[in-house]
């Protein structure tokens, strides 16, 4: 096949994983191409502000384009190894922490330096919570977070784009259609039937491109393992109950291993004075939560998620999660809400019972119902135990008035077998970021890009 052009490195996807690979490699005498199926950053921002843009363009623009899935997020950089991915499965935690520090420095260099880092204060109070948590069999993991804010996040991505101008070729609004491999060697990519050759291929297509990616690598005969699926509920209670935690740290995670099943259960995404919201995943309605800077509710919400990894012969955890979420949709027409007291007594919540409760739901459209008709016994038992343990550090968490909304589910892309430098079994073919199923956040996705960029430079220096 004759190549239109030959590059040293082709990078698929201009999310943080792809951008950080390019930042490492720029100005090192290599010919580099980034291919991004969404819009370039300035066009992308313009589309997001254009109310007349076609609805399908606006939807695609949310997760596709320069900056990737989190380009319009408020850019919380989690500077802790315990959050945002599983890169510690591929490298020692100390090395990952070095990379996280390095990534933070890069974000600072491009415009994030004066943004506040949360989590460095209140050391004594954090130690106190940790002690109480440990006594209740809970592991309390506070996060250090640099909060960029949506506007600064956009500026940083624009500065990175401008820095790379002239140093790498950038094809926006262009999707890679196929990967090209021959006799176990990576050769390049096909874009609209045109062949672009390369010596190194870095695939960073994000969650959005993961299905396409799985299809492509399966054709190459590469082996994938299924990831865990996290299923649970969003919990809502008076904000005062959790102030012992939320006043001390911006974001934290509590982990518990259930006595009944030894399952790993964690809290996720705590929103002080926040709101519970519906999330539409291609028509499947699940629950999520968020908080505003200026609009406050009286409640705090967070997720309790049970992690389940399946073994042989089952390979479809995402299908399993969707099946359970769909049951809630069938029974409740969408998200179901239930008082913890009703959940424990084995009866449904009715509008009257919710009305009599002490916690006012911030998602009034959720249907009062019975989550025991939806969640497997194992998940119900795990959630019950988690709330009992939580009550030890936040008295009132296990109140009969606490509200449970279901179903909350987190799906992760399948994982390829990768080496410690994130290389597939095919030499010089790397798979990184959320699309490879190994990261779940901006910082670890960026750190994956750094890892591969540095490895390519190391090989080139030989």
Ligand X SMILES: Cc1cc2nc3c(=O)[nH]c(=O)nc-3n(C[C@H](O)[C@H](O)[C@H](O)COP(=O)(O)OP(=O)(O)OC[C@H]3O[C@@H](n4cnc5c(N)ncnc54)[C@H](O)[C@@H]3O)c2cc1C
Min. distance of Cβ 85 from ligand X in angstroms? 8
Min. distance of Cβ 2 from ligand X in angstroms? 22
Q: Take residue 354 and report the two structure tokens written for it.
A: 């919710």
* Among positions 10, 14, 233, 335, the unique one binding ligand X when judged by CB under 6 A: 14
Q: Is 75 in the site for ligand X (CB under 6 A)?
A: yes
Give the C-alpha separation, 177 to 192, whole Å: 7
**Helix (H) or strand (E) run with residue 18 in it:** helix 16-25
Q: Take residue 26 and report the two structure tokens written for it.
A: 């720029």
Q: Is 440 in the site for ligand X (CB under 6 A)?
A: yes
Q: Is 152 in the site for ligand X (CB under 6 A)?
A: no
* Among positions 10, 25, 81, 84, the unique one binding ligand X when judged by CB under 6 A: 84
Q: Is 390 helix (H, G, I), strand (E, B) or coil?
A: helix
* Among positions 10, 64, 374, 407, the unique one binding ligand X when judged by CB under 6 A: 64
By DSSP bridging, strand 252-257 and strand 264-271 are antiparallel
Q: Take residue 373 and report the two structure tokens written for it.
A: 């008709």
Q: Is 35 in the site for ligand X (CB under 6 A)?
A: yes
CA distances from 319 to 33, 371, 437 (A): 35, 19, 16
**For ligand X, the closer CB: 192 or 295:** 192
- x/- track of binding to ligand X for residues 375-414 (CB under 6 A): ----------------------------------------
Min. distance of Cβ 446 from ligand X in angstroms? 8
Separation of CA 56 from chain center: 23
Min. distance of Cβ 36 from ligand X in angstroms? 5
Owner of token pair 């291609």: 282
| 217 close to 416: Cβ distance less than 8 angstroms | yes
- x/- track of binding to ligand X for residues 189-228 (CB under 6 A): ---------------xxxxxx--x----------------
- Output the CA torsion sign for 335, 337, 342, 344: positive
**Helix (H) or strand (E) run with residue 164 in it:** helix 150-164
Q: Is 445 in the site for ligand X (CB under 6 A)?
A: yes
| 366 close to 276: Cβ distance less than 8 angstroms | yes
Q: Which of 244, 203, 195 is nearest to 222 (CA)?
A: 203
**For ligand X, the closer CB: 348 or 440:** 440
- x/- track of binding to ligand X for residues 121-150 (CB under 6 A): ------------------------------
Min. distance of Cβ 32 from ligand X in angstroms? 15
- x/- track of binding to ligand X for residues 38-57 (CB under 6 A): x-------------------
| 90 close to 439: Cβ distance less than 8 angstroms | no
| 306 close to 262: Cβ distance less than 8 angstroms | no
Which of these segments, 156-164, 218-226, 419-427, 437-445, binds ligand X (CB under 6 A)? 437-445
**For ligand X, the closer CB: 37 or 348:** 37
Q: Take residue 455 and report the two structure tokens written for it.
A: 């490895």
**For ligand X, the closer CB: 292 or 377:** 292
- Output the CA torsion sign for 286, 292, 298, 299: positive
Q: How many residues bind ligand X (CB under 6 A)?
A: 41
Which residues contribute to the site for ligand X (CB under 6 A)? 12-18, 35-38, 63-65, 68-70, 73-76, 78, 84, 175-176, 204-209, 212, 433-435, 439-443, 445
């Amino acid at each position: 096949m004759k190549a239109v052009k030959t590059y040293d490195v082709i990078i698929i996807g201009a999310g943080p994983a792809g951008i950080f690979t390019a930042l490492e490699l720029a100005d090192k005498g290599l010919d580099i191409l980034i291919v991004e199926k969404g819009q370039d950053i300035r066009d992308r921002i313009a589309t997001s502000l254009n109310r007349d843009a076609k609805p399908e363009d606006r939807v695609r623009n949310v997760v596709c384009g320069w900056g990737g899935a989190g380009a319009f997020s408020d850019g919380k950089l989690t500077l802790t190894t315990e959050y945002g991915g599983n890169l510690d499965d591929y490298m020692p935690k100390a090395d990952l922490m070095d990379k996280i520090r390095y990534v933070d420095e890069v974000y600072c260099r491009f415009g994030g330096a004066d943004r506040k880092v949360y989590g460095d204060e209140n050391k004594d109070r954090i130690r106190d919570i940790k002690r109480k948590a440990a006594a209740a069999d809970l592991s309390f993991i506070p996060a250090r977070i640099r909060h960029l804010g949506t506007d600064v996040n956009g500026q940083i991505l624009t500065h990175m784009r401008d820095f790379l101008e002239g140093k790498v070729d950038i094809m926006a609004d262009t999707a890679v259609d196929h990967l090209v491999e021959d006799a176990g060697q990576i050769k390049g990519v096909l874009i609209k039937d045109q062949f672009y050759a390369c010596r190194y291929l870095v695939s960073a297509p994000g969650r959005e491109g993961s299905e396409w990616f799985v299809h492509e690598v399966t054709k190459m005969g590469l082996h994938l393992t299924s990831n865990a699926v996290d299923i649970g509920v969003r919990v809502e209670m008076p904000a005062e109950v959790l102030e012992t935690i939320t006043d001390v740290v911006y974001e934290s995670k509590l982990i518990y291993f259930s006595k009944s099943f030894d399952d790993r259960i964690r809290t996720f995404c705590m929103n002080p004075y926040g709101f519970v919201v519906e999330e539409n995943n291609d028509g499947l309605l699940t629950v999520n939560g968020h908080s505003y800077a200026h609009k406050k509710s009286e409640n705090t919400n967070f997720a309790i998620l049970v992690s389940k990894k399946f073994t042989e012969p089952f390979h479809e955890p995402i299908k399993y999660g969707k099946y359970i979420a769909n049951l809630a949709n069938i029974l409740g027409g969408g998200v179901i809400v239930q008082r913890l007291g009703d959940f424990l007594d084995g009866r449904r919540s009715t509008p009257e019972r919710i009305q009599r409760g002490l916690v006012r739901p911030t998602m009034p459209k959720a249907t009062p119902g019975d989550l025991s008709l939806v969640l497997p016994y194992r998940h119900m038992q795990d959630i019950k135990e988690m709330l009992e343990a939580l009550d030890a550090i936040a008295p009132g968490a296990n109140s009969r008035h606490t509200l449970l909304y279901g179903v909350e589910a987190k799906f992760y892309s399948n994982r390829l077998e990768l080496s410690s430098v994130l290389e597939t079994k095919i030499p010089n073919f790397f798979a990184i970021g959320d699309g490879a199923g190994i990261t779940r956040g901006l910082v670890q996705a960026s750190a994956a890009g750094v890892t591969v960029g540095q490895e390519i430079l190391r090989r080139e220096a030989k």
